Structure 1
Amino acid sequence: MLEDKDPKLALRLNPFNVDAFITLSEAMLGGAAKSADLDQLMAAAGSMVAWAPGDARLYSVRGAAEWQEGQMAEALSAFRHALVLAPTELQALQWMIGHSAEQGDEAAVVDLVDALFRRWPDRIPVYAGRMPAIFSDTEQRRLLVQRLELGQPWRGALISRLSKSPDGALFAADLLWDLAQGEGIQNGGEINQVLGALLAAGRYDEAYQTFLVTLNGEGQKLAGNVYNGSFSDTPSGAPFDWMVRRQPGLALSMAKPDGGMPTPGLSIEFQQAPVRDPGIRQYLNLPPGRYRLSVKTSAQGAVLPKELFWSVACFKPGTVLATLPVEQGTYPVAAISTELVVPADHCRLQVLRLGTKTMTGSWNDRYSGKVRFEDVQIVSVP
């Protein structure tokens, strides 16, 4: 439109074209406007207000010009009037958020941010980075959490954007901790996104503690060095829960009694195909020390040409701490175990996984039969 492409021409054609005036004034205020230009802009805004007294944008233009001239009281009055006319007027909201934050009026900031994010969700990326500074202490953050507990439509987008930076992810984790103490609904997708961001930033302890704090009552019962080691619940997809990736060559079931077994477990049926990765893993947060990895396992006609084993390794640099082979053949439930030592350095995060030694996927190495795991435990030993 002409108002956007050539606002000066649009104003010459129609001196009372408010849209053209807004476009031109925003460009002027966004640059290094001279005092004379600002005076002219305020005068023009006054004329426009007489023509369109209900247009809140005109008051925001006048307020921005007055602010740059140092007329703070007049500017604030203009912004407040703009928000009376239109509670979601973009420029007035943004100016008042900045002013309220400077004044330490967090309650006003929450109301203004709520209005801004509801009407202008594209502004969330701009303001997400400022949130940790504005809501830096527990009492300030409580006001924001109370609003998030209401299930605001911008909550997910804010958590997502916060997760884009290490500092933002830590602030998002604080919000999740506070939300977990209240009555708001926990969102697994939000939690997993924050956990992933913390892990990517190397904040392993914070990630694990956030995982534990955000567990519901039933989830708390499954917590341990290995989460849900009994396979009694469906995986949530969280990094410190079982992460299951469906793979060709096998059928997998979890958290269901199988083959007449009275207890839940992890059952794998191999389908006469090579298997490079069964796709079962979980992150661990074990302190330095000595541990015993134990697994209850059974098998029916299991043929494992390139082995099948549980392993624990340091996430970085990938040092393998222990492997626990699974026997092939047919046998009832039996306990197998091995010991491992988590070093004090360079192993703050570990990975527990089920793996094979298959490298090429050759059809000469076809896996078949069934294997079942009923319990995976890691316990500290003297």
Structure 2
Amino acid sequence: MTLALALLAAAAVHIVTAWRADALVATDPAGAARMRSDHPGALLALARAELQRGDAGAAARTAQQLLAREPANGTAFAVLARALGDAGGDARQLERYRIAARRAPRDVSIRGWLVAHELQAGDFPAALEHIDALLTLPSRDRARLLESVAKLAADPAFADALAVRLGERPRWRADLLRVASAMDVATADPLFAALQRNADLSASERGPWLDALIRQGRWGEAFARWAGALPGPPQALPLLYNGAFAVPPSNAGFDWRVRRVDGVVFERVADSDGSFARLRFLGSPVGRAGLEQPLLLAPGRYRLGLVARASDLRAEPGLEWSISCAGDGRRVATVRIAAGPRWEAIAAAFEIPPDDCDGQWLRLINSATPGVAQRIRGELELRDLRIDRVGP
């Protein structure tokens, strides 16, 4: 046999052996390693299998054998870190895991170990480095991890560190805030409060948090957090906010909420006298017109005033403003809107009772019997809404 043929035969044997070893990696890693002692995939699979069955010593030796061949193999170093455990002391173990994270940044188990270690040590910024890495990886457990992080934020110190991290705009910011806002207020409040202190909470992010406070009956806290983010001192705020529609409704906090209602189109319009709201009704049955605002009025006597005009508005018996207690839904005020084509001032007195009415809702409603009788067509325009206290 010539030298060339001998080399070709040797190469063929090598290729066939490698192919057979490849085929055995998934089902028999030990057999694949025996067939090709330098096969990276076989050695890695064998080390993992040895670690899984509890033979840490064998797993460490196999991983070291692979690292001798491929020193940059991060996954092998991750297996070695887990296999050696705390051998050599806590400091050596931590260093091995940190090296493993650098060499195998996508290894979930390594990141998980480091998260637990840093949390236990109270190094929340370091823990968040690894949490960030985990949340940027595709994983079926991502939703569970987001929930766990949101729950950890019940600790004010962790919430402060998390708020700083969120200020860097990680890709998972919106998802985490959505999960947090759906949790009980005691859990979510430290995180949202930290973000607000950092002036790093948009109106759209603040809204679900404030709504959660309102749903739980914590109207005073919701108002304080909403007012604290507005320019100027809270005591200067009117009892009915943005009644002149000087700025677009934010749909958050104690500003106007414009709900989507079939057959109703809301529009904010500017003219020489300022701004006003226009509601166009398209002939569909309407119970609530979709324009409403939460209020925080103390017990006492008040006056609701507004200016309105209508254009070909056909509604029987007509539209009206309703103020009701948030807790039990008691209606404490009804102001019927009987407006013509010219701007007309409308006013009515009402009283907030001393019991069980800590928060209220102002809503534009149609009091007609539900069904065909609630059909509305035409336009209604509103401006200069205000509430004034007139007595105890």
TM-score by length of 2: 0.76
Higher CA-based Rg = 2
Q: For 1:20, give the aligned amino acid.
A: A
> What does 1:92-107 correspond to in 2, within 5 Å?
92-107=110-125
Question: Alignment partner for residue 232 of structure 1, among 246, 251, 254?
Answer: 246
Cα deviation digits, residues 230-276 of structure 1 (max 9, x gap): 1122122225322223434444322433xxx6221112344455433
With over 3 angstroms needed to count, the CA separation of the structure-2 counterparts of 1:219 and 1:85, relative to structure 1, is: farther
Question: Alignment partner for residue 169 of structure 1, among 176, 184, 188?
Answer: 188
Q: For 2:57, give the aligned amino acid.
A: D
Match of 1:355 in 2: 365
Question: Alignment partner for residue 316 of structure 2, among 283, 295, 305?
Answer: 305
Question: Alignment partner for residue 256 of structure 2, among 204, 219, 242?
Answer: 242
Cα deviation digits, residues 158-202 of structure 1 (max 9, x gap): 21222232144223322331232xxx5x43332223334444444
Number of residues paired by the alignment? 359
> What does 1:313-328 correspond to in 2, within 5 Å?
313-328=324-339
Q: Is 1:371 aligned to 2:389, yes or no?
A: no
SS in 2 for 1:73: helix
> What does 1:165-204 correspond to in 2, within 5 Å?
165-166=183-184, 167-180=186-199, 184=200, 186-204=201-219
CA distance in 1, matches of 2:62, 2:353: 72
CA distance in 1, matches of 2:44, 2:329: 60
> What does 1:3-42 correspond to in 2, within 5 Å?
9-15=27-33, 16-17=40-41, 20-21=45-46, 24=49, 28=52, 37-42=55-60
Instruction: Report the CA distance between 1:309 and its aligned residue.
Output: 0.8
Contact kept, 8 Å, 1:264 with 1:374, in 2: the verdict is yes
CA distance in 2, matches of 1:252, 1:164: 28
Contact kept, 8 Å, 1:307 with 1:325, in 2: the verdict is yes
Question: Alignment partner for residue 226 of structure 2, among 199, 211, 217?
Answer: 211
Match of 2:304 in 1: 293
Instruction: Report the CA distance between 1:79 and its aligned residue.
Output: 0.2
CA distance in 2, matches of 1:9, 1:354: 69
Of all paired residues, the percent bearing the same amino acid is 26
Instruction: Report the CA distance between 1:224 and its aligned residue.
Output: 3.5
Q: Is 1:284 aligned to 2:295, yes or no?
A: yes
SS in 2 for 1:267: strand
Contact kept, 8 Å, 2:150 with 2:179, in 1: the verdict is no
Match of 1:91 in 2: 109
With over 3 angstroms needed to count, the CA separation of the structure-2 counterparts of 1:194 and 1:366, relative to structure 1, is: closer
TM-score by length of 1: 0.78
Instruction: Report the CA distance between 1:354 and its aligned residue.
Output: 0.2
Q: For 2:367, give the aligned amino acid.
A: K
Q: For 2:135, give the aligned amino acid.
A: F
SS in 2 for 1:20: helix
Match of 2:3 in 1: none
Match of 2:8 in 1: none
Question: Alignment partner for residue 136 of structure 1, among 155, 180, 184?
Answer: 155
Q: For 1:94, give the aligned amino acid.
A: G
Instruction: Report the CA distance between 1:369 and its aligned residue.
Output: 4.3
SS in 1 for 2:317: coil
* CA RMSD between the two structures: 3.5
Match of 1:146 in 2: 164
Instruction: Report the CA distance between 1:356 and its aligned residue.
Output: 0.8
Contact kept, 8 Å, 1:93 with 1:116, in 2: the verdict is yes
Contact kept, 8 Å, 2:284 with 2:376, in 1: the verdict is yes
Moved more, 202-211 or 102-111: 202-211
Instruction: Report the CA distance between 1:359 and its aligned residue.
Output: 3.1
Contact kept, 8 Å, 2:78 with 2:110, in 1: the verdict is yes
Q: Is 1:262 aligned to 2:266, yes or no?
A: no
SS in 2 for 1:173: helix
Match of 1:253 in 2: 267
Instruction: Report the CA distance between 1:341 and its aligned residue.
Output: 0.8
Instruction: Report the CA distance between 1:351 and its aligned residue.
Output: 1.5
